[in-house]
C-alpha cells in the first residue's frame, strides 16, 4: 500500500446538513446527550441518518442523566436500548474510561447488550438466554415493544449498577424518567420487570468472576480491592526512560497540556485470561511472529528499519481525510457502536433483531480481544515511537511535526510523535484492526450482505488532535461497504503512527475467524439449540 492510496470510502466536501429528528445525532455528542422516542408505529428502529462526528474533549464529559418526562416514553413503539440506555451510558462511560481504552469499553458494551438479549429471549419464539432460561412469554406480549423495553431497561439497570455503582443516580434516572421504579428488584418469569431483573442479575453473576478482575480481588488480596488491575505479574522489558530491548514494548510518558504526566502501564493484561463466550481455549489461536519488529533473519535490521520508514512516510503525507478517519476509528463507540445502530436503522430491524445483532457484534469483538491480548502479551512488541527514536535518535527526518505544524523536514527521531497517542499496551497484533474485522464480519453474517452506506459528517475544525484546523472544511465520509469500513479502520492505525503494517492483517485474521464462532454461538441460542 502506498502512502497516497489511502481512501477506501467515499469522502466529499459539502455544507454540513442538520437533520431535525436524527436519533443517532442525539447520542453522538457527549455534552448534553438528548434522546427521544421518535414517532414510529411499526416497531422498527427509526430512519437512518448521517452520523455527526465531533470528538468530545475532556472538559465536556458531563454525565448528567438524560431522562424522559415522567411516563412519557412510548414503550410500545420505541427502542429503549437506543433511545434511553445508550445516551445515558456513553457520557458516564467516558467520564471514567477514555474512548480508546477498548478493553473496558468492550466489557461494558458486551455485558449491557448481553443483558438486553437475555431479557428479551422469553419474548422470542425459540431463543434462550446466555446466562438464564426464563421460559417463554405468550406471543401476545411481543405484538409490540412494551414488555421487551421494560425488561431490557431493568436488565440494563442491574448490569450498570454492577459496572458503575458510583453512577447509581444516573441509572436510577433512566428508569424514573420512563415512569419506572428502580427500587422494584423482584425476579420472576411472569412479568417484564421480574424477567429483566432476573436476566440482568444472571449476567452479572455469570461475568463477575470471569477473570477480568472487575471486583479487584483476583490478585489474592482481602482488603483495598483494585478493580480491573493486572494480577498476571506482567512487567515491561523497557522502562519509559530507558530502552533495554528495542524489540519490546516501551511504556510511553503521557502528558497533558499543563505538563502533568503519567507513565503507561499495560492496560488489563488479564483480559487474556478472561472467559470467552464462543470458544473454550484462547491458546488454540495464535498469530505469526512479528519478524520485522524482532529484527530476525538475515535482513532483520533492514526489516526493522523498513517498517519504521513506512510509518514515517504516512506521517509525512497524512491529509485531512486520513486524520479524521484515524480519529473516528480510535473512538470505538462512534465507529463500532454507532455503525451498528446505523446498520440496524437502515435495514429496518425490529427491536428483537437489533438486540440480537448488537449483542453479536459486541461479543465477537470481546472474544476477539481475549486472543489479541494473549498475543500482545506473548510478543510484547515495540511501538513505532520507540523504534523511530532508536533508529534516528537526534538525526533529522521528514514527518508530521505535531498539531498545526504540517509536514516538516527537521524534526528528530527523538522528537517524533504519532498523530494519535499510542495505546497502553504492546503493538502487535493490532487490537483496533481485529475489533473492526470482527465487527464487520459479524455484521455481514447477521445482515446477509456487505452493504453498509454508513455516512459520518465531520464538522470543520472538529478534530481533537488539531482543533480548529482539521478538517479544513465540513466533510462527509461514507462507508459504502463493511469491507471498506474494516480496511480503513486497519490502515488508519498505520497512518496515525501507532502500528506497523504487519500488525493489521494479523489482527484482522483473528477478528474474522472469531466472528464466525460468535455468530454460530448466538444463532444456536436464538434457535434454542445451544448445548454447552
For the beta sheet containing 10-13, the strands, ordered from the edge strand earlier in sequence to the opposite edge, are 10-13, 475-481, 451-458, 51-52
Rounded distance between C-alpha atoms, residue 458 and residue 471, angstroms: 8
In a domain, 409, yes or no: no
**pLDDT of 359-370, one tens digit each?**
999 999 999 999
Q: Would you say residue 491 lies in a domain? A: no
Average pLDDT over residues 43-57: 49
* Max CA distance (Å), the chain: 73
Q: Could you tell me where the beta strands, DSSP code E, fall in 324-406?
A: 396-400
- Residue 159 in any domain: the answer is yes
Query: Is omega for the bond preceding 471 within 30 degrees of 0, making it cis?
Result: yes
- Residue 454, classed as helix, strand or coil, is strand
Count of the separate structural domains present in the chain: 1
Confidence of residue 299 (pLDDT cuts 50, 70, 90): confident
Q: Which three cell numbers stand for residue 270?
A: 488479564
**Does residue 522 surpass a pLDDT of 80?**
yes
pLDDT, mean over the chain: 89
Residue 70 lies in a domain: yes
**Is the link from the previous residue into 299 a cis peptide, with omega within 30 of 0?**
no
Residue 225: what pLDDT? 97
Q: What is the per-residue pLDDT across 324-334, written as a single tens digit (0 to 9) for each?
A: 999 999 988 88
**For 77-92, how does the pLDDT look when each residue is reduced to its tens digit (9 = 90+)?**
999 999 999 999 999 9
pLDDT digits (tens, 9 = 90+) for 472-497: 999 999 999 999 999 999 999 999 99
Within a domain: 356: no
Q: What is the mean pLDDT of residues 152-156?
A: 98
Interhelix angle 431-447/102-120, nearest 10 degrees:
20
- Quick check: is 339 in a domain? no
Band of residue 65 on the pLDDT scale cut at 50, 70, 90: low
User: Which of 19-23, 257-261, 372-376, 398-402 has the lowest average pLDDT?
Assistant: 19-23
Secondary-structure percent of the chain, ordered helix, strand, coil, rounded to 5: 45, 10, 45
User: Rounded to whole angstroms, how far apart are CA atoms 323 and 313?
Assistant: 14
The whole-number pLDDT of residue 70 equals 43
Question: For residue 102, what pLDDT band results from cuts at 50, 70 and 90?
Answer: confident
Range of the domain at 118: 22-208
Q: 333-364, pLDDT tens digit by residue?
A: 889 999 999 999 999 999 999 999 999 999 99
pTM given for the model: 0.90
Q: Beta strand pairing status for 51-52 and 451-458?
A: parallel
**For residues 139-146, average pLDDT:** 97
Kindly report, residue by residue over 301-310, the tens digit of the pLDDT.
999 999 999 9
For residues 414-423, average pLDDT: 97
Residue 29 lies in a domain: yes
Evaluate whether residue 118 is within a structural domain: yes
Distances (CA, A) of 307 to 151, 295, 495: 51, 11, 12
- CA gap 155, 160 in Å, rounded: 9
Enter the DSSP assignment of 13. Answer: E
Amino acid at each position: 500500500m502506498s502512502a497516497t492510496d489511502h481512501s477506501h470510502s467515499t469522502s466529499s466536501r459539502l455544507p454540513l446538513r442538520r437533520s431535525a429528528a436524527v436519533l443517532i445525532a442525539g447520542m453522538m455528542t457527549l455534552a448534553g446527550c438528548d434522546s427521544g422516542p421518535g414517532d414510529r408505529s411499526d416497531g422498527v428502529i427509526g430512519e437512518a441518518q448521517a452520523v455527526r462526528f465531533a470528538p468530545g474533549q475532556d472538559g465536556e464529559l458531563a454525565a448528567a442523566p438524560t431522562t424522559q418526562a415522567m411516563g412519557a416514553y412510548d414503550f410500545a413503539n420505541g427502542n429503549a436500548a437506543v433511545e434511553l440506555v445508550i445516551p445515558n451510558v456513553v457520557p458516564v462511560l467516558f467520564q471514567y474510561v477514555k474512548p480508546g481504552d477498548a478493553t473496558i469499553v468492550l466489557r461494558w458494551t458486551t455485558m449491557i447488550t448481553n443483558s438486553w438479549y437475555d431479557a428479551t429471549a422469553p419474548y422470542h419464539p425459540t431463543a434462550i438466554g446466555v446466562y438464564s432460561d426464563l421460559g417463554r412469554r405468550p406471543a401476545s406480549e411481543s405484538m409490540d415493544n412494551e414488555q421487551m423495553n421494560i425488561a431490557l431497561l431493568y436488565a440494563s439497570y442491574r448490569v450498570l449498577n454492577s459496572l458503575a455503582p458510583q453512577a447509581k443516580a444516573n441509572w436510577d434516572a433512566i428508569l424514573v424518567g420512563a415512569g419506572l421504579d428502580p427500587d422494584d428488584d423482584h425476579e420472576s418469569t411472569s412479568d417484564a420487570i421480574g424477567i429483566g431483573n432476573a436476566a440482568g442479575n444472571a449476567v452479572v453473576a455469570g461475568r463477575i468472576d470471569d477473570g477480568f478482575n472487575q471486583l479487584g480481588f483476583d490478585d489474592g488480596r482481602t482488603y483495598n480491592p483494585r478493580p480491573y488491575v493486572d494480577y498476571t505479574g506482567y512487567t515491561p522489558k523497557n522502562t519509559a526512560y530507558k530502552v533495554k530491548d528495542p524489540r519490546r514494548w516501551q511504556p510511553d510518558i503521557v502528558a497533558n497540556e499543563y505538563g502533568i504526566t503519567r507513565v503507561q502501564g499495560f492496560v488489563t493484561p488479564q483480559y487474556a485470561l478472561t472467559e470467552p463466550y464462543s470458544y473454550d481455549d484462547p491458546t488454540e489461536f495464535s498469530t505469526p511472529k512479528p519478524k520485522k519488529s524482532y529484527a530476525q533473519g538475515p535482513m532483520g535490521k533492514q526489516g526493522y528499519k523498513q517498517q519504521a520508514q513506512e510509518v514515517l512516510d504516512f506521517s509525512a503525507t497524512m491529509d485531512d481525510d486520513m486524520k479524521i478517519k484515524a480519529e473516528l476509528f480510535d473512538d470505538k463507540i462512534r465507529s463500532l457502536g454507532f455503525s451498528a445502530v446505523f446498520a440496524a436503522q437502515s435495514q429496518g430491524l425490529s427491536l428483537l433483531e437489533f438486540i440480537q445483532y448488537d449483542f453479536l457484534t459486541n461479543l465477537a469483538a470481546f472474544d476477539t480481544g481475549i486472543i489479541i491480548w494473549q498475543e500482545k502479551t506473548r510478543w510484547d512488541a515495540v511501538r513505532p515511537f520507540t523504534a523511530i527514536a532508536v533508529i534516528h535518535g537526534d538525526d533529522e527526518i521528514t514527518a508530521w511535526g505535531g498539531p498545526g505544524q504540517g509536514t516538516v523536514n527537521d524534526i528528530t527521531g527523538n522528537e517524533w510523535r504519532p498523530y494519535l497517542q499510542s495505546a497502553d499496551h504492546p503493538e502487535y497484533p493490532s487490537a483496533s484492526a481485529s475489533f473492526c474485522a470482527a465487527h464487520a464480519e459479524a455484521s455481514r453474517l447477521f445482515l446477509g450482505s456487505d452493504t453498509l452506506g454508513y455516512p459520518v459528517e465531520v464538522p470543520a475544525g472538529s478534530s481533537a488532535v488539531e482543533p480548529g484546523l482539521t478538517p479544513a472544511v465540513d466533510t462527509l465520509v461514507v462507508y459504502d461497504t463493511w469491507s471498506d469500513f474494516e480496511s480503513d479502520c486497519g490502515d488508519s492505525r498505520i497512518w496515525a503512527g501507532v502500528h506497523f503494517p504487519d500488525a493489521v492483517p494479523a489482527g484482522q485474521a483473528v477478528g474474522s475467524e472469531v466472528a464466525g464462532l460468535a455468530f454460530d454461538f448466538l444463532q444456536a441460542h436464538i434457535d434454542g439449540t445451544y448445548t454447552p
